[in-house]
Structure 1
Amino acid sequence: MTALDRQPLQAAWRSMLASRPGIEIQGEPVVDPTRLTTCLERHQPRVLLLDKALLDRLDPMSLQWIRQRCPRVRVLLVSEEICRSAVADVLRNRFHGLLLTTSPPDLCLKAIRAVSKGELWLSRRLLAHVVTDPTWPLPPAEAAASDPDRPHAMDTLTRREFQVVARLRRGCSNKEIARELGIMEDTVKKHLKSVFAKLGVHRRALVILQAAGASDSLSRLRW
């Protein structure tokens, strides 16, 4: 489903997507934020392409309603530029990605298909920069990503798991983490699986958010 602020942008995206195999456009194009919740409840699309300009016009209650009533809808935020507020919107609202309106069609399709599978479409390097820059307007890590009943979950990680998380926070891939720590890539995956279980999360981005709230613990370790 597309929810874009401008009719020309709506027309261009829907035209591009209509001819692509494996893509089905659901519902009418949404340009009025007051109609978004109704359309989502009626069609329950797997992926919602949401324009940042339209998001900025949504009231907080509508966003809360979408999270509660449409938990399976994955939101891919579409923005004219990769700005601080757009990245913060993705993380604050637990969206699944950020895509430029000027992205080439093949990249748009790749992003949509990745998000439809539950993946996060956001550069690891960009995400790492966001959570380590104190000037970015992010929510508290525990409010966005952690289980409220487990506020000190980071303290349950082993020394090696902390080392993996620290490099994950820098934007390293599994292969880069394995090379830096002198271990096998499969071992990195096992450590990450353990970290996910201990923190009660299922995505790398959420691990990074929790790590951002545990900077003191991370900084005390010697690498």
Structure 2
Amino acid sequence: MTGEREPVRVVVVDDDPLVRMALRLVIDGEPDLALVGEAADGVTAIAVVEERRPDVVLVDVRMPRRDGLDTTREFLTWPVPPRVLVLTTFDSDDLVLGALRAGAHGFVVKDTPPARIVEAVRSVARGDPVLSPAAMARVIAAATGPGSADARGSSREAARRRLAVLTERELDTARAVADGLGNSEIAARLHVSVATVKAHIGSVFAKLGLENRVRVALLVRDAEG
């Protein structure tokens, strides 16, 4: 029928069969989502995703044979990579941060309510990163805590010099990103449209040479820390 959209194709990668079963039930219960494959480790995931060509891959962080970080990096070297949504229990913040740095589009906690997982998949499929304020705070804490590489290598003045290339509105947008706000929330805070927010975020990424919101948030926190 004219106007109907194809469902978002999803592959789930997790070594826990109960997690895979739960996600299968959640995804298959939505008419606009379709589970097209599963894998229990990163090695198998590469083959499954290459064959099935999903729109979104949910990837566990800790897995046998090949972890989620390395698997994500592999996906994102492809000419047409899937969008990656990282699964975590928050006992592995450093790996989650690494996955986001590698280009993942966000992450969800495994005990997230099913409705929010579904919305996360839809958001990532649209190209909107999924980073809740609480999750953002945990990742930033892991990245900038005592002894971390970012804490040792960061410089407040260096960060401020980098941010100086932004316009005032772009800087306001970057600060809102650092607060963990989504596009609609940023639009409400700044009293602009969501399309304008997306344009500002694209400009922030381009000017700063960064690839995702977490990196922007870390830079803002370095500058204001």
Q: Contact between 2:170 and 2:200, CA under 8 Å: does it hold in 1?
A: yes
Return closer, same or farther for 1:39/1:203 CA change in 2, 3 Å cut-off: same
Task: Determine which structure has more spread, i.e. the larger CA radius of gyration.
Answer: 1
Return closer, same or farther for 1:16/1:209 CA change in 2, 3 Å cut-off: same
1:174 is the counterpart of 2:186: yes
1:93 is the counterpart of 2:105: no
1:42 is the counterpart of 2:54: no
TM-score w.r.t. the length of structure 1 is 0.68
Deviations 1:29-88 (A, max 9, x none): 211332121112111211111122228843876544322126431111122347533542
| Counterpart mapping for 1:126-141 below 5 A | 126-127=135-136, 130-131=139-140, 134-135=144-145
Aligned to 1:4: 14
1:185 is the counterpart of 2:155: no
Deviations 1:75-129 (A, max 9, x none): 1112234753354244233211222222222122111111111111111354256
Unaligned runs of 5+ in 1: 141-151, 179-183
Aligned with residue 120 of structure 1, among 129, 140, 146: 129
For 1:118 and 1:94, locate their aligned partners in 2 and report how far apart those are by CA, in whole Å: 12
Aligned to 1:79: 88
For 1:129 and 1:8, locate their aligned partners in 2 and report how far apart those are by CA, in whole Å: 26
For 2:116 and 2:176, locate their aligned partners in 1 and report how far apart those are by CA, in whole Å: 27
For 2:215 and 2:25, locate their aligned partners in 1 and report how far apart those are by CA, in whole Å: 34
Q: Kindly indicate which of the two structures has a greater share of residues assigned to strand.
A: 2
Aligned to 1:148: none
Q: Contact between 1:33 and 1:58, CA under 8 Å: does it hold in 2?
A: yes
For 1:114 and 1:79, locate their aligned partners in 2 and report how far apart those are by CA, in whole Å: 18
Q: Contact between 1:79 and 1:86, CA under 8 Å: does it hold in 2?
A: no
User: Residue type matched to 2:192 in 1?
Assistant: E
For 1:88 and 1:137, locate their aligned partners in 2 and report how far apart those are by CA, in whole Å: 15
1:211 is the counterpart of 2:223: no
Aligned with residue 107 of structure 1, among 112, 116, 133: 116
Return closer, same or farther for 1:137/1:47 CA change in 2, 3 Å cut-off: farther
Unaligned runs of 5+ in 2: 1-10, 151-160
Aligned with residue 75 of structure 2, among 66, 72, 82: 66
Return closer, same or farther for 1:50/1:167 CA change in 2, 3 Å cut-off: closer
User: Residue type matched to 1:39 in 2?
Assistant: V
Q: Report how far residue 131 of structure 1 moved.
A: 3.3
Q: Contact between 1:52 and 1:78, CA under 8 Å: does it hold in 2?
A: yes
Q: Report how far residue 201 of structure 1 moved.
A: 5.4
More divergent stretch after superposition (97-106 vs 121-130): 121-130
Q: Contact between 1:79 and 1:100, CA under 8 Å: does it hold in 2?
A: yes
Partner-residue secondary structure (3-state), 1:69: coil
RMSD: 3.7
Partner-residue secondary structure (3-state), 2:59: strand
